Amino acid sequence: MTPTWDPATFNPHNPAFLADPYPTYAQFREHAPISVVQPYGSAWVFRFADARQILDDSVTFLKNPPAGSRAPASGLFSMGANLPIGLFGSDPPRHTELRQILEPLFMEAIAPAADVATATAGQLLAPLQHTARMELVSDYAIPLPSAVLFTIMGIPSDHWPVLLQWIGTMVAAHDITQSLTLRALGATCAMALNTYFEEWVLQCRGTPHAGLIGEMCQSIGGPEGLTAEDVQVCCSDFAFAGYLSTTFLIGTGLRHLLENPDQAALLRAEPTLMHNAVEEMLRYDGPVQVLDRVVATDTELGGIPLPAGTKVTAVIGSANHDPSAFADPDAFRIQRDDASQLSFGDGIHHCIGAPLARIVTPIAFTALLELPSLAVGGLVQWQTDPYLRAMTNFPLSLGAT
């Protein structure tokens, strides 16, 4: 331990930390594995076993404050908090009910995802075959997974640019250090997205419509109890979160392949390692770094008492580098065969969209690795929100032919 290291001085928005959070995580795991982090006022939990306990125990650790303690939100940034809670933000029993309805519909809807991803990747990369540069995020990592998601949802392609603009603004506004103007704009975009899907529900009810939205609408009023508000909010959840993890993973995953040319060469030589490679990308530098929960009843974690109502945060990025759970965790090795990483969460809230990400990401990398002489072509910039591990831009140079 560095003698001057003090967990109280930790700034989760420090650019050096955002560029490489893992050495800081190691300090916390060793010396302060459960620490209150400001400005979030949450107890961040850095070790694998503790983080996994938070994610697995959906009775003690809730998505929402304990029953009766959630007052109506008010103020500039409260609009979304007053909307109905969908699948992603609910606790049992409602979460269980929604997931039982939505998961089969989602799994059926993603059946054509591989074909859509393959065709879209080809369309996006074809113009780049004879150019010297590309911007990975805007040219590929956003349009590919979003096109797959919006296609399976049944959203017309002429609507995609507006949705991407709204969602991009919402992501940027999630960073609490951003300007009041940007955060207010993000709240407005969240309302716009919900209103957009409210209109979809009105149009689809009783009328057959292709895609996941249509299937969800057909379930309204059925014996399972799915309401129009459920569909509206869950569609917003899917649109917002359904492609971003893949977008972020394409960026960080390619970065680590380029920084580890032996691993890139191995993957090119043995394409059957692609599944392992994607799992290692998730573990090594996953798109979601932290997940929040609220303590339902007085409990203890890692020897630390946590009163009911305490906000706790499972630091997934740290847990996935915990040497007690992973051998040589700071090495990027695509032959690693370990399914215990937590990048898609765990327990009953394990990400419903994980199967789609695991379909699209290998296709994205298979196509990328066919480009000649890929190399970093400029300064990489990072998202400023410690909740996310995402690049805002990633310039690449290509060996033009």
More confident residue, 120 or 85: 120
Percent of the chain predicted with pLDDT > 70: 93
| pLDDT tens digits along 261-295 | 999 999 999 999 999 999 999 999 999 999 999 99
Q: What pLDDT is recorded for position 74?
A: 47
Percent of the chain predicted with pLDDT > 90: 78
Q: Name the residue among 241, 246, 217 with its Cα closest to residue 116.
A: 246
Neighbours of 263 (CB within 10 A): 20
Looking at the predicted structure, is the pLDDT value of residue 401 above 90? Answer: no
CA angle 80, 85, 89 (to 5 degrees): 95
Residue ranges covered by each domain of the chain: 64-295+339-397
| pLDDT tens digits along 374-387 | 999 999 999 999 99
Q: What pLDDT is recorded for position 71?
A: 47
pLDDT-derived band of residue 1, with 50, 70 and 90 as boundaries?
very low
Looking at the predicted structure, is the pLDDT value of residue 250 above 60? Answer: yes
| pLDDT tens digits along 329-350 | 999 999 998 778 999 999 999 9
Q: What pLDDT is recorded for position 160?
A: 97
Kindly give the interhelix angle for 228-241 and 244-259, rounded to the nearest 10 degrees.
Answer: 20
Select the CATH number that applies to the domain covering 64-295+339-397 from these four: 3.40.50.2300, 1.10.1060.10, 1.10.630.10, 3.40.50.880.
1.10.630.10
Average pLDDT, the chain: 91
- Buried/exposed code over 356-388 (b: 16+ C-beta within 10 A; e: otherwise): bbebbbbbbbbbbeebeebeebeebebbbbbbb
Give me Rg for the CA atoms of the chain: 21
Rounded mean pLDDT of 176-183? Answer: 92
Q: What pLDDT is recorded for position 372?
A: 83
Q: Name the residue among 20, 16, 12, 10 with its Cα closest to residue 284.
A: 20
Q: What pLDDT is recorded for position 79?
A: 54
Rounded mean pLDDT of 188-217? Answer: 88
